[in-house]
Amino acid sequence: MLSKKTLKDVNLSNKKVIVRVDYNVPIKEGRITDNKRIVASLPTLKYLIENNCKIILLSHLSRIKTTDDIKSGKKSLRLVAEELAKLLPETSVKFVPTSVGQEVVNAANNLQPKQIILLENTRYNDVDENNNVVKKESKCDPELGKFWASLAEVFVNDAFGTVHRKHASNAGIANAIGTSCVGFLVEKELENLSKVSSNPVKPFVAILGGAKVSDKLKIVNRLLEIADYVLIGGGMAYTFLKAQGYDVGSSLVEQEMIEEAKSILAKGKDKIVLTCDFVCASGYKDEPSKYFNLGENLNGMMALDIGEKTIEAFKSKLMNAKTVVWNGPMGVFEFKNFTYGTKTICEILKQITAQGAFTVIGGGDSAAAAVSLGFKDTDFGFVSTGGGASLALIEGSPLPGVDAIQNK
C-alpha cells in the first residue's frame, strides 16, 4: 500500500485533476450537521490550488435506491458545494447538478486554474430514469469510469472511506486514466493503519465492539494472529458468551454464528477477553433496571453496556499496551444510560496515548461515539475516517480503490 504514488510523486502543475473525495456527510433538515469529512479534504485541495490545477470533485452521498431519492433533492451535494465554498473563500467553487453528460463536459472544459467544480452525487448513476436499479457507480461500470477519466489528466483518490469498494469513481477512473495517485488523507490513513497491520509495536491490544460477529469475522481471526490480546465487548460479545453456555437474556445473539464463535474461542484461548458483567434493561430507552454478573440469570433482559468488572479486566490489558486499535462501541452509546462503557474506554485510550502508546480508532461508530462523548481527535494517536475500509486494511482484504492506483 505504501508503494502507491502520492500527490508529491506526480507533476501536477497546471494540470486538470479529478479527485474522488468522501463528502458523505450527515444532513438533517437541510443542514450539514458535521462537516469533518469536508474539512479533511482541504489539505489535498489546497495543494492542488497551489499547483495551479483545474479541479473536478466527485463524491457519493448516502445510497440511491429509487428515482424518488434523486427527485427529492435530499441526497444532493449542492449543500456540500456551498459548505466547501465557505471553507475556501478565496477559491471559485461551483456545483454541477449532474455527474454525466455534455453539461459536465462543458463545465470541465470551462474550468480555469485554481477553480473547483463539484459534480452531483455519483450514486445517482445507480438508478436509471425508468427506476431500474443499474448500479453503474456501485458496480464499477467501465464506461462510466472512462467518462470521468476523460475529463482530466490526473486522478487523485482521497476518499479513504470507500477504498474497500470497487466503484466507477475510484477503481474505474484509476484504470482508465494515464496518471493516478492517492491524496494526503488516504496517504495518512495508509501510513497510520499500516503501523497496526504490519509489525505493530508490542504489546498490541485490540478492542472490538459493535453489533455482529459476522461483520467482524475476518478481523477477529486476523487480530488473533498479530495481537497479544483481543478484548470483545458490545453486542458481538453476547454471541461468544452464548457459545460458552451463559445466559444472555434477550441480548443480541447471532444464532447462526454460535459454532463459529466456539471455533474462534478455541483458537484464541487466553488471548480473548470477554465481557464479564453487564448493565441491562428491557429496552434501549428504558432506565437500566439491573446490573448482572456473568453466570447470573438475566431474566430475559437485554445487556446494553459493559460493567465495572469488564472495564477493570480490559484496563489491566490496556495500561501496558504500546499499540491499541479499537473498532466498535461497548454499548448502545446513543442512549445516555448506556454510554459509560464506551466513554471509559475512550478515557483509558486518552490516558495511555498521553503515556506514549499508539492508539487507533478505526472509524465508523467508534469515531462517532468518541466525538459525541466529547473527545477530540488529538486525544488519540490516530482516528480513521473509514470504518469498513480500516477493518479491510487491517484484516488484509483487498482495497480496490487503492490497488488500482499506480505504483511509484
234, 364, 381, 401: the catalytic one is 364
336 is known as an active-site residue: no
Question: Regarding beta strands 31-32 and 16-20, do their DSSP bridges make them parallel or antiparallel, or are they unpaired?
Answer: unpaired
Q: DSSP readout, 224-271?
A: HHH-SEEEE-TTTHHHHHHHTT---TT----GGGHHHHHHHHHHHGGG
Question: What grid cell was written down for 388?
Answer: 469498513
Degrees, nearest 5: CA angle 348-380-197: 100
Q: State yes or no: is 212 an active-site residue.
A: yes
Known active-site residue 101? no
78 catalytically annotated: no
Q: Are 35 and 25 in contact (CB under 8 A)?
A: yes
The SS3 call for residue 290 is strand
The pairs formed by 136-142 with CB atoms below 8 angstroms and a separation of 24 or more are 136/168, 137/60, 137/167, 137/168, 137/169, 138/165, 138/167, 139/168, 140/166, 140/167, 140/168, 140/171, 140/172, 140/400, 141/168, 141/172, 142/168, 142/172, 142/175, 142/176
- Whether the CB-CB separation of 393 and 193 falls below 8 Å is answered with yes
Q: What is the 3-state secondary structure (H, E, C) of 332-351?
A: CCCCHHHCHHHHHHHHHHHH
State residue 361 phi and psi, 5-degree precision: -100, 120
Q: Which residue out of 135, 195, 212, 315 is catalytically annotated?
A: 212
Distances (CA, A) of 106 to 56, 98, 116, 151, 156: 12, 12, 14, 10, 21
Q: How far apart are CA 99 and CA 75, in angstroms?
A: 14
Respond yes or no on whether the N-terminal peptide bond of residue 329 is cis (omega within 30° of 0).
no
SS3 call for 119 = strand
Residues 372/340, Cβ–Cβ less than 8 Å: no
Q: Output the 3-class SS for 126-145.
A: HECCCCCECCCCCCCCHHHH
Q: Measure the CA–CA gap between 326 and 10, rounded to whole angstroms.
A: 34
Q: Considering the candidates 5, 37, 136, 343, report the single residue annotated as catalytic.
A: 37
- Decide: residue 90, CB within 10 A, 0-12 exposed, 13-18 middle, 19+ buried: exposed
- The set of catalytic residues is 37, 212, 364, 388
